[in-house]
Amino acid sequence: MAPRIEITYCTQCRWLLRAAWMAQELLTTFEKEIGEVALIPATGGKLDIRVDGNLIFSRKDEGRFPEMKELKQLIRDRIAPDKLLGHSDRKD
């Protein structure tokens, strides 16, 4: 069964567009590896990203939003470790 990505976002903070953009980027990058991406509305400043129920990034814990490059690497490392990410794998 292909992995499920969950992006829980704060509706009070108006982060739907940010969450939708993240979902679009992940679906484009991992089109053959991901089974689904769910956008889950929440409150309280939450922006959490989970892979198959396992938390991989929390805005509250980290005190910041994830960089897209970082998010793609975190997800790749869990669902497709051998996948090359092109420019997202380059060292800055």
User: Into how many domains does the chain fold?
Assistant: 1
Q: pLDDT value at position 87?
A: 66
Residue 50 bridge partners (DSSP): 6, 55
Query: Could you tell me the CATH number of the domain that includes residue 83?
Result: 3.40.30.10
Q: Where are the alpha helices (DSSP H) in 1-92?
A: 16-29, 59-62, 68-79
Tell me the per-residue pLDDT of 5-37, one tens digit each, with 9 for 90 and over.
999 999 999 999 999 999 999 999 999 999 999
Report how far residue 25's alpha carbon sits from residue 62's, in angstroms, rounded to the nearest whole number.
21
- pTM confidence score: 0.91
Matching residue, tokens 């939708």: 20
Q: Which domain holds residue 53?
A: 4-89
Tell me the per-residue pLDDT of 35-67, one tens digit each, with 9 for 90 and over.
999 999 999 999 999 999 999 999 999 999 999
Q: pLDDT value at position 70?
A: 95
Report how far residue 34's alpha carbon sits from residue 51's, in angstroms, rounded to the nearest whole number.
10
